[in-house]
Amino acid sequence: MDRNFFSNLKCRECGKLYAKKAIHVCDFDFGPLEAVYDYAAIRGVLTRQLIESRPQSMWRYRELLPIDGAPTVGTQVGFTPLVKADRLAKALGLRELYVKNDTVNYPTLSFKDRVVSVALSRALELGFEVVACASTGNLANSVAANAASAGLKSYVLIPADLEQGKVLGSLVYGANVIAIHGAYDQVNRLCSEIAGKYGWGFVNVNLRPYYAEGSKTMGFEIAEQLGWRLPRHTIIPMASGSLLTKIHKAYKEFIDLGLVDKAPFSVHGAQATGCAPITHALKRGTDMVKPVAKPQTIAKSLAIGTPADGYYAIHSMNQTGGTAEDCTDEEIVEGIRLLAECEGIFAETAGGVTVACAKKLVAAGHIPADESAVLCITGNGLKTQEAMLNQCGAPRTINPSLREFEDRIYQPDQSAVAH
Ligand SMILES: *Cc1c(COP(=O)(O)O)cnc(C)c1O
């Protein structure tokens, strides 16, 4: 990159500025730190034409991402398909619906490749040799894979009860995979202690301000792929709540930079009923998020009982006229199947949460039938197969014989047999 527009980190609460180091909380009030940019300078440089001239990856928006030089990790991440979902739209009762399909993100099939690409590119700039994370599964996969390709040593810490696909999807890259007897919050607390003691680059602890900005690219891509406009409604799964706040920020940045026309938009959050601290707080009309001590849901990737960005996610939803929903495990399975049967997209449990909650938001009138909507589908169903085992029937098995095929599988209508 010719010029660097990323200037500082800044406390979200008191506004104190910090140098661009591996720090994530304010000394004074413990507020979270966030990347700040020289928007006036970016406005003079970043145009639709410039972005469109670049390779189709999340790094086409690099002026709005918090690294100093050119990206070095995950340079091919992002620019996943935005699918016009007409059959799902009909099933939900909407006219204009799209699916942002991060089930096929590169290289590890979830939206987490976006955040890891930024965090590890920054980790190399800051000189880290060991990177690590606390993860509900997808982050572990992405850190493990991207660290391997960057030649970095990695430690990924996960709750011990994760799906097999997520565990194997970290081990295969040669990462140090540490399974903790406990819920995600306990894993995360241990990671904070390790980060403080050993000076490793924890992508979602001391590198969190960099990591979190990567999520904005999902919002940038949605706006560009819609033909440089914002959808009226965006439905977003919430774990810590970070992705939702960053899609909100992405839309605001595009409006402020004149890349899209100013228009009303709403961001809505989706959680599983068995771990829905953000949704429940919003429904109670408060921004005080009550922790969930023992999450119980098949949507393990969203099972964060103490969501770090819950407070900010609630404000993003309230400021944009958005709202939040939650859904049961049965509704998650139904949501996965509905997306698969309507659009040919096999999402993980978090995708089922998004579809099921969108259905409720439409039914309740929060998403009117004639307004455009985008569902953020953030992870791949092949990684959470446990959730769908025994839910989709089984193949009918026969011998390789035409007679048997016609006896047991398919009886042609005689008048329709081709000659
Ligand atoms: C991590 C994750 C999310 C959202 O995470 P936030 O912490 O809210 O940013 C959503 N979907 C999937 C599949 C994830 O792995």
Q: For ligand 1, which residues put their CB under 6 angstroms from it?
A: 110-112, 138, 237-243, 301, 348, 350, 378-379
Name the closest-CA residue to atom 14, ligand 1.
301
Contacts of 165 (CB under 8 A, 6+ apart): 382, 383, 384, 385
**Residue spans in the chain of domains classed CATH 3.40.50.1100:** 6-76+112-211, 82-108+215-388
Q: What angle do CA 85, 212, 345 make, to 5 degrees?
A: 20
Q: Which two tokens stand for residue 295?
A: 């999450």
DSSP state of 290: P
CATH of domain 82-108+215-388: 3.40.50.1100
User: Does the bond joining 159 to the residue before it have cis omega, within 30 degrees of 0?
Assistant: no
CA dihedral for 1, 79, 48, 117, sign (positive or negative) = negative
**3-class secondary-structure state, position 187:** helix
Question: What region does 105 belong to: left with phi over 0, alpha with psi -120 to 50, or beta?
Answer: beta
* DSSP β-ladder status, 176-180 and 153-159: parallel
Cα 373 to Cα 392: distance, rounded to the nearest angstrom? 28
Atom of ligand 1 nearest to the CA of 236: 10
Residue 347 exposed, middle or buried by CB count within 10 Å (0-12, 13-18, 19+):
buried
Amino acid residing at 92: L
**Chain CA centroid to CA 401, Å:** 47
Q: Which of 99, 112, 170 to mutate to test the pocket of ligand 1 (most atoms within 8 A of CB)?
A: 112
The alpha-carbon radius of gyration of the chain (Å, integer) is 22
**241 C-alpha vs ligand 1 centroid, how far in Å?**
8
**239 C-alpha vs ligand 1 centroid, how far in Å?**
5
Side-chain half-sphere CA neighbours of 381 within 13 A: 19
Name the closest-CA residue to atom 10, ligand 1.
237
Name the closest-CA residue to atom 11, ligand 1.
378
Residue of 227, 255, 249, 254 whose CA lies nearest to 236? 249
CB–CB of 133/159 below 8 Å?
A: no
Q: What is the pLDDT along the chain (419 residues), one digit of tens a residue?
A: 457 899 999 999 999 999 999 999 999 999 999 999 999 999 999 999 999 999 999 999 999 999 999 999 999 999 999 999 999 999 999 999 999 999 999 999 999 999 999 999 999 999 999 999 999 999 999 999 999 999 999 999 999 999 999 999 999 999 999 999 999 999 999 999 998 899 899 999 999 999 999 999 999 999 999 999 999 999 999 999 999 999 999 999 999 999 999 999 999 999 999 999 999 999 999 999 999 999 999 999 999 999 999 999 999 999 999 999 999 999 999 999 999 999 999 999 999 999 999 999 999 999 999 999 999 999 999 999 999 999 999 999 999 999 999 999 999 876 665 55
Note the maximum CA span of the chain.
Answer: 83
Residue of 138, 132, 196 whose CA lies nearest to 162? 138
Cα 308 to Cα 313: distance, rounded to the nearest angstrom? 10
Strand positions, DSSP E, 94-217: 97-101, 130-134, 153-159, 176-180, 201-202
- Domain 6-76+112-211 bears CATH identifier 1.10.10.200: no
